[in-house]
């Protein structure tokens, strides 16, 4: 069955692309300097707004003509605000951490006088003889960018920029073949859902296509809620049309006539840009009735989520869309059988749908050639925590954790030792150093006890306490539990209370056993994915770091000296300098006093363990030390006041 009006669609798409390319050529032809500023949420938070103003002001003062193009996010969070300057006669140069001051200096030195200010340069965006290219850095060349290829390069609010780069040609390819052939292509590509569970996307579509009914829905799950994960936000903010194109292709394949993008309301910029993108696509005839002149109809709307982590679970998401309280339902029936308004519904993650246009454009064979056989393609991770170069990284599946953390992201800063990595956010697991050579793919991670999850990676060093970090993640899932089923509602609180006790030095001998058995039972007994995965951090840390738990429970000692109740500060009288009182003023509670030898000591009863005195003590003395358990701190008598 072929779609009517495909020839017409090819002509129309050609016209759209030609017009977009003409517009871009005109802009490039004007020989004016072009400044691209990363204006996604991360860039704006780092001060990209002020940088933009500084550029505008400096150019106005100097009477320069130029154009500013707000682009999305390149994923290099450590270097925000990022600016790329296209100055005629130079290669495009990328500058990092561009403050308003740097912006003014760049306008004067680079745009006016032709000095690229090498000290601020991150690298050139293309190979040249003048400036080392960014691709020389491992952070750039070890990545494999497919979905994020255009992020930070194009203006997300201009559909023309997406079209000029060959946008919507995947859709064009799709409608030239039958829906079944599209599904077959996706099955062949081996694409697995990027939301975390890794269900084969093609199979999901096949089930939805085979489900009867005149109306079907395609829903994009952009309710990203994991602490420390933000790749979906970046994709929405930096390349929304890629997602829309994926949704239209999915709609054509499964026969859906309505689409909904479920974005969490805490992403206001993503919501705004997505709305703009939908409006533009409708104007260009790429959405709505009779897409590109064919008889394909697909309407797409945006729905703002209402701030619950559990709504990322697909059945709870549907409840929320239907205007009910976001509580998960039992599966089966799966949404592909009975979803939104009891109609067949496909729910795919942003990254899954954003991969679709590339698979159609380049073919299933190309896509399955990337990554590992069982998990083809690329994965996007937000690597945060104790790494030198945090940010978004897109890598081919099968890359090892070591490559990701140490080669691409620069390893652990400040000469600290790597301790553990939490993969998959609060539902994932915590892996120790011995797992660094694990390839990152769905099956290897699941085997190790972690999971792919949505792709949040938190790196921890020797200063992080495993028990405390586990408590943090559990605190999150416990608060976000919807309260429906017994195991998740009450069970996770008992786990959390157990961990709380340990970090306070009140751990009981039975607590480790309680954590282990209750975790297993919660995993087995819970209703939805949230409850089933909530104990993962506890189980993996108990398995890989039992000695930390034992130290907390048996010795009341925190090996990383993180848990306040289990540590104490004291001043080494051999190191302390007589007469120095740098620490005294820094103490917020007046716990530091002068001893009879005119050195300083800490009154343990008053100390709140803020650590201010450690920073205040001059580095040549470094006399303030930390111990665990707290009883080890030597007791110094406060001299009697006369």
Q: Which stretch binds another protein (CB under 8 A): 344-352, 353-361, 404-412, 479-487?
A: 479-487
Closer to another protein by Cβ: residue 493 or 575: 493
| Spatial distance between the Cα atoms of 590 and 612, rounded to a whole number of angstroms | 12
Select the residue interacting with another protein from 280, 526, 533, 560 (CB under 8 A): 526
Short-list 44, 38, 36, CA closest to 267: 44
- Biggest CA–CA distance in the chain, Å, is 100
Cβ atoms of residues 391 and 383 within 8 Å: yes
Q: Which token pair is 254?
A: 């499964």
| Spatial distance between the Cα atoms of 587 and 423, rounded to a whole number of angstroms | 38
| Spatial distance between the Cα atoms of 71 and 161, rounded to a whole number of angstroms | 10
Query: Does residue 521 belong to the site contacting another protein (CB under 8 A)?
Result: yes
Select the residue interacting with another protein from 117, 133, 388, 514 (CB under 8 A): 514
Query: Does residue 527 belong to the site contacting another protein (CB under 8 A)?
Result: yes
Closer to another protein by Cβ: residue 29 or 330: 330
Residue 119 makes CB contacts below 8 A (sequence gap 6+) with none
Closer to another protein by Cβ: residue 228 or 525: 525
Select the residue interacting with another protein from 189, 239, 372, 478 (CB under 8 A): 478
- Shortest CB 312 distance to another protein, Å: 14
Binding positions for another protein, 560-599, rule CB under 8 A: none
Short-list 433, 460, 466, CA closest to 552: 466
Query: Does residue 485 belong to the site contacting another protein (CB under 8 A)?
Result: yes
Q: Which token pair is 126?
A: 């293309």
Query: Does residue 538 belong to the site contacting another protein (CB under 8 A)?
Result: no
- Shortest CB 321 distance to another protein, Å: 17
Query: Does residue 481 belong to the site contacting another protein (CB under 8 A)?
Result: yes
Closer to another protein by Cβ: residue 329 or 543: 329
Q: How many residues bind another protein (CB under 8 A)?
A: 31
| Spatial distance between the Cα atoms of 588 and 595, rounded to a whole number of angstroms | 19
Sheet holding 418-423, edge to edge: 391-396, 378-385, 456-461, 418-423, 429-432
Residue 167 makes CB contacts below 8 A (sequence gap 6+) with 17, 159, 241, 242, 245, 357
Reported as type and span, the H/E element at residue 221 is strand 217-222
Query: Does residue 446 belong to the site contacting another protein (CB under 8 A)?
Result: no
Determine the length of the chain. Answer: 642
Short-list 97, 91, 128, CA closest to 110: 91
Query: Does residue 115 belong to the site contacting another protein (CB under 8 A)?
Result: no
| Spatial distance between the Cα atoms of 447 and 249, rounded to a whole number of angstroms | 33
Reported as type and span, the H/E element at residue 461 is strand 456-461
Closer to another protein by Cβ: residue 120 or 476: 476
| Spatial distance between the Cα atoms of 162 and 241, rounded to a whole number of angstroms | 7
| Spatial distance between the Cα atoms of 457 and 42, rounded to a whole number of angstroms | 17
Select the residue interacting with another protein from 447, 479, 606, 638 (CB under 8 A): 479
- Side-chain-side CA neighbours of residue 411 (13 Å): 9
Query: Does residue 159 belong to the site contacting another protein (CB under 8 A)?
Result: no
- Shortest CB 524 distance to another protein, Å: 6
Query: Does residue 512 belong to the site contacting another protein (CB under 8 A)?
Result: no
Q: Which stretch binds another protein (CB under 8 A): 81-89, 242-250, 478-486, 590-598?
A: 478-486
Cβ atoms of residues 604 and 630 within 8 Å: yes
Report helix angle 492-503 to 546-554, nearest 10. 60
Query: Does residue 325 belong to the site contacting another protein (CB under 8 A)?
Result: yes
Burial class (CB in 10 A: 0-12, 13-18, 19+), 261: buried
Cβ atoms of residues 224 and 454 within 8 Å: yes
| Spatial distance between the Cα atoms of 179 and 252, rounded to a whole number of angstroms | 6
Short-list 440, 465, 468, 444, CA closest to 455: 440
Closer to another protein by Cβ: residue 307 or 373: 307
Q: Which stretch binds another protein (CB under 8 A): 50-58, 86-94, 377-385, 523-531?
A: 523-531
Short-list 125, 57, 41, CA closest to 90: 125
Residue 22 makes CB contacts below 8 A (sequence gap 6+) with none
Residue that the structure tokens 């008992």 belong to:
494
Q: Which stretch binds another protein (CB under 8 A): 256-264, 381-389, 391-399, 517-525?
A: 517-525
Query: Does residue 534 belong to the site contacting another protein (CB under 8 A)?
Result: no
- Shortest CB 536 distance to another protein, Å: 16
Query: Does residue 238 belong to the site contacting another protein (CB under 8 A)?
Result: no
Query: Does residue 415 belong to the site contacting another protein (CB under 8 A)?
Result: no
Query: Does residue 29 belong to the site contacting another protein (CB under 8 A)?
Result: no
Query: Does residue 322 belong to the site contacting another protein (CB under 8 A)?
Result: no
Cβ atoms of residues 239 and 162 within 8 Å: yes
Closer to another protein by Cβ: residue 80 or 480: 480
Q: Which token pair is 88?
A: 């005629």
Query: Does residue 316 belong to the site contacting another protein (CB under 8 A)?
Result: no
- Shortest CB 556 distance to another protein, Å: 19
Binding positions for another protein, 271-310, rule CB under 8 A: 308, 310
Closer to another protein by Cβ: residue 193 or 326: 326
Q: Which stretch binds another protein (CB under 8 A): 11-19, 151-159, 362-370, 475-483?
A: 475-483
Closer to another protein by Cβ: residue 115 or 513: 513
Select the residue interacting with another protein from 329, 362, 416, 504 (CB under 8 A): 329
Select the residue interacting with another protein from 18, 283, 295, 524 (CB under 8 A): 524
Q: Which stretch binds another protein (CB under 8 A): 171-179, 382-390, 427-435, 519-527?
A: 519-527
Short-list 164, 176, 256, 266, CA closest to 225: 266
Query: Does residue 539 belong to the site contacting another protein (CB under 8 A)?
Result: no
- Shortest CB 510 distance to another protein, Å: 8
Binding positions for another protein, 330-359, rule CB under 8 A: 330, 332
Query: Does residue 486 belong to the site contacting another protein (CB under 8 A)?
Result: yes
Distance from the Cα of residue 130 to its chain's centroid: 34
- Shortest CB 479 distance to another protein, Å: 5
- Shortest CB 341 distance to another protein, Å: 14
Residue 513 makes CB contacts below 8 A (sequence gap 6+) with none
Q: Which stretch binds another protein (CB under 8 A): 195-203, 325-333, 371-379, 380-388?
A: 325-333
- Shortest CB 484 distance to another protein, Å: 5
Short-list 326, 155, 123, 353, CA closest to 238: 155
Select the residue interacting with another protein from 487, 549, 569, 570 (CB under 8 A): 487
Query: Does residue 482 belong to the site contacting another protein (CB under 8 A)?
Result: yes
Instruction: Kindly list the residues in this chain that would bind another protein in the complex (CB under 8 A).
Output: 308, 310, 325, 327, 329-330, 332, 478-487, 489-494, 497, 514, 518, 521, 524-527
């Amino acid at each position: 069955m072929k779609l009517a009006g495909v020839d017409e669609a090819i002509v129309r798409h050609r016209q759209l692309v030609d017009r977009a390319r003409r517009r871009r050529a005109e802009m490039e032809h004007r020989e004016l300097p072009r400044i691209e500023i990363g204006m996604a949420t991360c860039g704006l938070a780092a001060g990209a707004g002020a940088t933009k103003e500084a550029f505008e002001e400096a150019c106005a003062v100097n009477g320069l003509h130029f154009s500013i193009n707000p682009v999305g996010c390149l994923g290099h969070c450590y270097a925000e605000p990022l600016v790329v300057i296209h100055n005629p006669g130079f290669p495009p140069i990328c500058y990092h951490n561009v403050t308003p001051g740097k912006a003014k200096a760049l306008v004067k030195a680079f745009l006016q006088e032709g000095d690229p200010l090498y000290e601020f340069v991150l690298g050139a965006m293309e190979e040249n003889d003048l400036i080392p290219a960014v691709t020389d850095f491992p952070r750039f060349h070890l990545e494999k960018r497919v979905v994020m290829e255009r992020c930070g390069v194009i203006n997300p609010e201009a559909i023309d920029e997406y079209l000029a780069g060959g946008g919507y040609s995947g859709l064009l390819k799709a409608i030239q073949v039958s829906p079944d052939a599209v599904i077959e292509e996706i099955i062949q590509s081996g694409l697995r859902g990027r939301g975390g569970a890794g269900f084969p996307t093609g199979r999901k579509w096949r089930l939805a296509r085979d489900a009867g009914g005149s109306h079907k829905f395609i829903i994009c799950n952009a309710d990203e809620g994991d602490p420390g994960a933000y790749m979906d936000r970046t994709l929405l903010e930096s390349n929304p049309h890629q997602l829309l194109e994926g949704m239209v292709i999915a709609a054509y394949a499964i026969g859906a006539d309505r689409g909904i993008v479920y974005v969490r309301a805490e992403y206001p910029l993503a919501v705004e840009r997505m709305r703009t993108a939908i409006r533009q696509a409708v104007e260009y005839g790429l959405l709505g009735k009779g897409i590109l002149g064919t008889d394909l109809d697909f309407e797409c709307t945006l729905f703002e989520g209402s701030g619950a982590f559990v709504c990322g679970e697909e059945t709870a998401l549907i409840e929320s869309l239907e205007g009910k309280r976001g509580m998960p339902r039992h599966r089966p029936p799966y949404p592909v059988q009975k979803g939104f308004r009891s109609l067949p519904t496909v729910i795919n993650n942003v990254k899954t749908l954003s991969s679709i246009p590339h698979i159609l454009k380049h073919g299933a064979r190309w896509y399955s050639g990337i990554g590992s056989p069982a998990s083809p393609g690329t994965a996007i991770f937000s690597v945060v925590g104790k790494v030198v170069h945090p940010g978004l990284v897109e890598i081919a599946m099968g890359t090892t954790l070591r490559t990701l953390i140490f080669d691409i992201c620069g390893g652990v800063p400040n000469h600290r030792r790597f301790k553990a990595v939490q993969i998959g956010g609060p539902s994932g697991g915590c892996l120790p150093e011995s797992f660094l050579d694990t390839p990152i793919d769905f099956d290897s991670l699941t085997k190790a006890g972690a999971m792919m999850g949505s792709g949040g990676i938190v790196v921890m060093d020797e200063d992080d306490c495993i028990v405390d970090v586990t408590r943090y993640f559990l605190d999150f899932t416990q608060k976000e539990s919807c309260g429906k089923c017994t195991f998740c509602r009450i069970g996770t609180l008992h786990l959390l209370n157990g961990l709380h006790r340990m970090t306070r030095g009140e751990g009981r001998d039975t607590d480790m056993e309680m954590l282990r058995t209750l975790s297993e039972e919660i995993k087995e007994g819970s209703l939805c994915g949230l409850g089933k995965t909530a104990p993962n951090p506890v189980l993996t840390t108990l398995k890989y770091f039992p000695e930390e738990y034992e130290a907390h429970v048996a010795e009341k000692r925190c090996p990383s000296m993180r848990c306040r109740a289990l540590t104490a500060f004291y001043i080494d009288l051999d190191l302390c300098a007589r007469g120095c009182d740098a620490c005294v003023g820094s103490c917020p509670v007046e716990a530091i006093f002068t001893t009879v030898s005119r050195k300083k000591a800490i009154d343990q009863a008053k100390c709140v363990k803020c650590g201010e005195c450690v920073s205040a003590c001059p580095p040549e003395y470094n006399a303030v030390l930390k111990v665990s358990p707290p009883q080890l701190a030597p007791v110094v008598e406060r001299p009697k006041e006369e």
